[in-house]
Each structure stands twice: as C-alpha cells, then as structure tokens.
Amino acid sequence: MNQPKINYQKELERQLEQIKADGRVPKLLLHSCCAPCSSYVLEYLSEYFEITVLYYNPNIYPESEYRKRVIEQQKFIGDTDSRHLISFIEGKYDTSRFYAMAKGLEEIREGGERCFKCYELRLRETAELAVRKGFDYFTTTLSISPMKNAQKLNEIGARLEKEYGVHYLFSDFKKKNGYKRSIELSGEYGLYRQDYCGCVFSMRE
Ligand code: SF4
C-alpha cells in the first residue's frame, strides 16, 4: 500500500515557527543546484537563518556549463539583499563520483532511480560538511523544481539527518507559489536559466 503523501511545506512551516519562537538564528548549510532555484529559497529562508550556500553539483555537464552556473550563483548572492549573512562555498567538481553513481542507470529517464541517487549524492555531501563545520541545519533548493520528487528528497534528507545527527530542514519550495516567485526573481536579477537539469543524460533527453 502506498504511504500517504506528507505536506513538506507544512513541515517546514512548523520548523520555522519553532525557530522563531526560540528567538534563534541558526546556521543553515543550503545545497544549491543553480542561482534561479536558490533565488526564492534565499529570499524565504534568510529571514530565519544565517545561510551558507554549498554549490556541490558534480552531475553538471559540460564543465563550461558548470562554470557558468557557479558564476551565476555567486553573482546572485552578491546582488541580493538579505536580513542575515549569506556566504558561499564551492564543493569539488568530482565528476567521476557522479558517473560511478550513475553506472548502469544511464538510460533511465529523468525523474527515475538515477535522479534519486543523484539527490542523495549531493545531500550526503551537504550533511557531511554540515557536521564537519558545525552547522545547525542542512537542506537543498532542489524541491523548488516541479521536475524533482519532493517526497523522495525529504525521505533522503530525513534518513541522512539520523545518520549524521544534524537537523534536516524539510521543504517543498515549489508550494506557496515558490516556483513562480523564482521565475519572477530570475527575471528581476537577469539570471541565466538553463533548459536542462544538468547531467549529460538529461541534456540528451
Ligand atoms: S536528470 Fe538531473 S537529477 Fe537526474 S541524474 Fe541528471 S542531473 Fe541528476
């Protein structure tokens, strides 16, 4: 029997209310896939957190596209106004890790098993770094995309929270017009919006 779907936006609101009630400004390590997806998420979460954006995306092909997205991400952070500090860390562009993970799953269409493993690769790196650097929470921008499976993303996040002992911030950022707002902000800031998810397989598709 299928599990009932959880409303992860509501879960996030519950977590944010608690943070506000405690009068805290915790440190959040936010994995970001690209500047347009991060735009709304940073606008929303920087009210509550001191955020460090982690750009860890060894899935992106080709390298010129990867560089373009990194530059755009840094530019957006520099241009945006926020209540609390936003910092930036670039992860390793270790593409061999991505291809080792995708081995045997190359022909699977976007949205399938390869993508779930790709979410985990990037979230795991975020959780590991969050522990190493003493962050209070970790999460990812990925749930803002209508192409991404928010249930899977949050299941992986909750599992990694237990494994690493660092809080995972639930999300379904596309809700409450989050996706629409990211398009508006991309227009306002003149952000480059790519037309494929990132890997060579999604590019071909
Ligand atoms: S389509 Fe996107 S999420 Fe899926 S494996 Fe490729 S880069 Fe990762």
121 lines ligand 1 (CB under 6 A): no
Q: Whole-prediction pTM value?
A: 0.97
For residue 62 the two structure tokens come to 């080709």
Beta sheet of 50-55, edge-to-edge order:
86-90, 50-55, 27-31, 137-140, 167-168
For residue 154 the two structure tokens come to 């949050």
Give the pLDDT of residue 5: 85
Number of Cα atoms under 13 Å in the Cβ half of residue 17: 6
Q: Give the closest residue (by CA) to ligand 1 atom 2.
A: 197
List pLDDT tens digits, range 20-30.
999 999 999 99
List pLDDT tens digits, range 77-103.
999 998 899 999 999 999 999 999 999
| Average pLDDT of span 110-128 | 98
> In terms of C-beta distances under 8 Å and separation of at least 24 residues, what long-range contacts does 154-162 make, across chains too?
154/6, 154/8, 154/11, 156/116, 156/119, 156/120, 156/123, 157/123, 160/120, 160/123, 160/124, 160/127, 161/127
Rounded to the nearest angstrom, the distance between the alpha carbon of 204 and the centre of ligand 1 is 12
| Average pLDDT of span 60-71 | 98
Q: Which of 115, 142, 149, 153 to mutate to test the pocket of ligand 1 (most atoms within 8 A of CB)?
A: 115
Give the pLDDT of residue 191: 97
69 lines ligand 1 (CB under 6 A): no
